[in-house]
Structure 1
Amino acid sequence: MIKVNVIMSTIVSFLLVAPNALAGTSEVTWQNPDKYRDVYAGQEHRAKFKKRVFKEFEQHFAKLAEQLPKEQTLKITVTDVDLAGDVHETMDRIRVIKDIHIPRMKFSYQLVDASDHILQEGLENLKDMSFMMRSSLRYNNTFLHYEKVMLDQWFDNTLAQK
C-alpha cells in the first residue's frame, strides 16, 4: 500500500510541476505595418481587420512560446505579412483563397534566457507554397488557418524542444 501511495504522489507531483517547466513567453513587434504586402480586409474595416490579424498572430506566438522552458522569451520582429488568398475588389470585397496566393511572413527572432542572453536568433522568410495540400484539423475553419500551420511548422523545425 505504501508503494502505491509513493507512486501516486510522484505522479501528482509531476503533473503539478511539469506544466510550469514549459511556460516560455513571447514579445511581438510590428515593424512598418503599413508597408506589409497583404493584410487587407474583405468586408471588414481595414484598421479593425489589421488589429484583429496582429492580435491573432500575437496570441499564436504566445501559444507557441508556451512550449519553451519557463525562463525563455521568444522575441519576434515582423517585417512583412502576406496572408493566404487575395482580396477581390468586387461589389462584395472578399478574400478568395487560391493556391497561387500563398501565405508569407518575414520576421527576425531571438530566443533569450532570463538574463537576456541570446540562445538562438535568425531571419525568416517563411512561405508555404503547398499550403492548400496540407490537411490540418487543428485549425480547421479558424481565422488565419494557413498562416498558423506555417508558423507551427517553423517553430517545430527551429525552436521546439526535442
Structure 2
Amino acid sequence: MNPRLVVLALALALAASSATAAVRNVTDPNAPRALPEAGPVNVRWEDPSKFTELRYTSNRWEASRGNWVQELAEYMRDRAQRQLPPGQRLDVDILDIRRAGSFEPWHGPDLQYTRIIRDIYPPRMTLNVRLTDADGNVIAQGERRLSDSGFLVSDSSSLNSDPLRFEKRLIDRWISRELTATKPDA
C-alpha cells in the first residue's frame, strides 16, 4: 500500500476521533433542547444558559461543560416510564436546574475547577408538568419546585461517584411522589 495513503488515512482517522471527542457544552446552540419523542414521557428544556446553575456560578466554563442537562432528562424519562401507569402520558418542561455543590474560587487555583459539595448548595429543579390519562384528560399539571436540603444527610451512597447522583435522587423522589399520588387506585 502507498505510504502516503496510509499517512493520509491515519490523519483523517485522528481528525475524526478528535472531533467527536471534543468537550460538550450544555449551552451549545446546536445542542438538542428536547429528547426525541419515544413512548409516553416527553422531556424538553429551554436554553440552559438561563438556568440558575449557569447564571449564578463562579466558574461558568466548568459549570457548562458536559451533557448533564440531557443526561438528567434521559434519566427522568427512563424513571418515569417505569412508574407511569399504562395509558398515561407525562410531559415535562425543565425550567431551571441548580446542581448540588458550587465552585469556590477563594480556595485558590488548584481547586477552581472543583465542585465543592456542602449542605448550603442543595440540588434544585423547577419543572412544568402535565400528566394526562389515556383519553387525554388532565390528571395533574403545573409547576413543580424540587429541592433536597438534606441531600448530604440522606446520602447513603458514599461510594457512588456519579456527578449527578444528587440530582438523580431528587428526580427519583419527585417521580415517586408524583406518580404514586396520581395512580387510579391511589
TM-score w.r.t. the length of structure 2 is 0.63
Q: Which amino acid aligns with 1:110?
A: R
Question: In the alignment, what sits opposite 2:78?
Answer: 63
Change (3 A) 1:43 1:109: closer
- Which gives a bigger RCO, structure 1 or 2 (Cα 8 Å, sep 6+)? 1
Q: 1:27 aligns with which of 36, 39, 42?
A: 42
The structure richer in strand per residue is: 1
1:150 aligns with 2:170: yes
The alignment status of 1:85 with 2:85, answered yes or no, reads: no
Paired letter, 1:104: R
2:142 corresponds to: 122
Q: Contact 1:26/1:75 (CA < 8 Å) preserved in 2?
A: yes
For 2:163 and 2:64, the matched residues in 1 are separated by 17
How big is the alpha-carbon RMSD for the aligned residues of Structure 1 and Structure 2?
A: 2.8
Separation (CA, whole Å) in 2 of partners of 1:87 and 1:117: 44
- Alpha-carbon distance in 2 for matches of 1:139, 1:153: 20
Which amino acid is 1:68 matched to? Answer: L
Measured after TM superposition, the shift of residue 46 of structure 1 is: 5.5
**Counterpart of 2:85 in 1: which secondary structure?**
coil
**Equivalent residue for 1:100?**
120
The aligned counterpart of 1:6 is: none
Is the 8 Å Cα contact of residues 58 and 104 (structure 2) preserved in structure 1?
no
- Asked which structure has the greater CA Rg, the reply is 2
Cα distance change, pair 46–134 in 1 and its aligned pair in 2 (3 A) = closer
Q: In 1, Cα distance between the equivalents of 2:58 and 2:132?
A: 34
5+ residue gaps in structure 2?
1-38
Aligned residues: 137
Shifted more, 139-148 versus 124-133: the winner is 139-148
Equivalent in the alignment of 2:90? 74
Q: 1-side partners of 2:142 and 2:80: how far apart? A: 16
Q: Deviations over 1:56-95 (max 9, x none)?
A: 1111111222211232221111111100000233434111
Q: Percent identity of the aligned residues?
A: 27
Task: Tell me the TM-score normalised to structure 1 length.
Answer: 0.71
Alpha-carbon contact 2:125-2:147 (below 8 Å) kept: yes
Residue 5 of structure 1 corresponds to which residue in structure 2? none
**Residue pair 1:128, 1:150 contacting (<8 A) in 2 also:** yes
Q: Which amino acid aligns with 2:142?
A: G
CA distance in 2 between counterparts of 1:47 and 1:93 reads 12
Q: Kindly tell me: are residues 153 and 34 of structure 1, through their superposed partners in 2, closer, same or farther at Cα, counting changes over 3 Å?
A: same
Q: Which runs of 5+ in 1 are unaligned?
A: 1-23
